[in-house]
Amino acid sequence: MRRVGIALLGCGTVGRGFVELVERERPRIAARHDVDLRIDRILIRDNDKERAGVDRRLLTRSAIAAIDDECDVVVELIGGVHSAGAFVRRAIANGRNVVTANKALLAMNGAELFNAAAANDVSIGFEASVCGAIPIVRVLKSAFAGDEIESIEGVVNGTCNFILSCMERGSAFAEALSCAQERGFAEADATLDVDGVDAAQKMRILASLAFDAPVVRESVVGIRGVTPHEIERARIGGNSIRLVARAERIAGGVAIDVAPRELDANHLFANVRDENNTVVVRGRASGEIVLSGKGAGALPTASAVLADVIEIAKSPSRRTAYAI
């Protein structure tokens, strides 16, 4: 059995979920995949924070100690672009495979990071960066190999959907947002969620996998302007308001559009509630394929991170082709 050492960067919502899941699933993963996963180091900022279920001996505040230690996979669950980007670059330069849930980093610097990964013959796993537990990245990377994708449309931001669902049940916007934050669904900077930026970043990642074409048009509107009155009026009419994100092939490239939409009660997306996500991929030959599931939260997101770690552990020298 091969021992696979993991340096975990970040032990917040998803990081703690990852620690819990590795602990819980290690025997099954060893029996099924013949790899023994071990978390060797955990990078954090604040040594005094309570972290139930986490072995304090693994904690370090030194990014260099965590990344430069002998490890096979660096799992980046810090978020943000600057520190996370520096750590991921260092890991790649050191010849480490990387798994990340960081859509902001990939949407902004994906091309550079994937080129660096290819040059260093390492992989970057990023399933968890879009739609939490839903395996949309795998589906786009392999299941549609024989078809041309025409469009991708979905409810892809768990925080916005949770807020809109709470508002339908009578909560105020601020109360619903703080509830989403308490449950660990929201980004550290929640404006990325509510202004639609997070959804647009996810669509950029999906578009880069689905279309061999540049994004030539992007329109992004979040849910900040959706009023309780509009939600109530929609509800009385039997409708629902959802933040809908769409990427489609147009002349000269790809168009991305993110905006709140009032949807008929029978619409697939009208029935997506709370932190759940639904994505519809339309293929020229295959027609519509629908994927649904939890788009945020500790364990659902950690399950996608862990799937990437296992895939890399099983075939460590396979590179991931990708371009934004």
Ligand X SMILES: NC(=O)c1ccc[n+]([C@@H]2O[C@H](COP(=O)([O-])OP(=O)(O)OC[C@H]3O[C@@H](n4cnc5c(N)ncnc54)[C@H](OP(=O)(O)O)[C@@H]3O)[C@@H](O)[C@H]2O)c1
**Selected range binding ligand X among 25-33, 71-79, 227-235, 307-315, rule: CB under 6 A:** 71-79
102 binds ligand X (CB under 6 A): yes
* Active-site pick, 49, 103, 141, 202: 202
Residue 141 near residue 209 (C-beta atoms within 8 A):
yes
Query: For residue 296, which of 202, 221, 211, 209 has the smallest C-alpha distance?
Result: 202
Query: Measured between alpha carbons, how far is residue 286 from residues 149, 203, 211, 241, 267 in Å?
Result: 9, 20, 16, 29, 21
Cα–Cα distance measured from residue 81 to residue 128, given in angstroms and rounded to the nearest whole number: 16
**Nearest CB to ligand X, comparing residues 184 and 283:** 184
CB of 13 to ligand X, least distance (A): 4
CB of 315 to ligand X, least distance (A): 24
- Is-catalytic flag, 103? no
**Nearest CB to ligand X, comparing residues 76 and 311:** 76
CB of 230 to ligand X, least distance (A): 26
Cα–Cα distance measured from residue 14 to residue 20, given in angstroms and rounded to the nearest whole number: 10
Q: DSSP class of residue 269?
A: G
Cα–Cα distance measured from residue 204 to residue 106, given in angstroms and rounded to the nearest whole number: 9
**Nearest CB to ligand X, comparing residues 103 and 242:** 103
**Nearest CB to ligand X, comparing residues 41 and 249:** 41
Residue with the shortest CB distance to ligand X = 12
CB of 140 to ligand X, least distance (A): 17
Handedness of CA 282, 256, 77, 4 (dihedral sign): positive
Q: Which residues from 122-181 bind ligand X, rule CB under 6 A? A: 128, 132
Handedness of CA 119, 213, 153, 279 (dihedral sign): negative
CB of 275 to ligand X, least distance (A): 7
Cα–Cα distance measured from residue 95 to residue 106, given in angstroms and rounded to the nearest whole number: 19
Cα–Cα distance measured from residue 34 to residue 40, given in angstroms and rounded to the nearest whole number: 19
Cα–Cα distance measured from residue 203 to residue 156, given in angstroms and rounded to the nearest whole number: 8
43 binds ligand X (CB under 6 A): yes
187 binds ligand X (CB under 6 A): yes
| Binding residue for ligand X, selected from 79, 85, 260, 293, defined by CB under 6 A | 79
Residue 278 near residue 290 (C-beta atoms within 8 A):
yes
| Binding residue for ligand X, selected from 135, 184, 283, 316, defined by CB under 6 A | 184
Q: Hey, which residues are catalytic here?
A: 202
Interface with ligand X (CB under 6 A): 10-15, 43-46, 49, 77-79, 83, 101-103, 128, 132, 184-185, 187-188, 296-297, 301
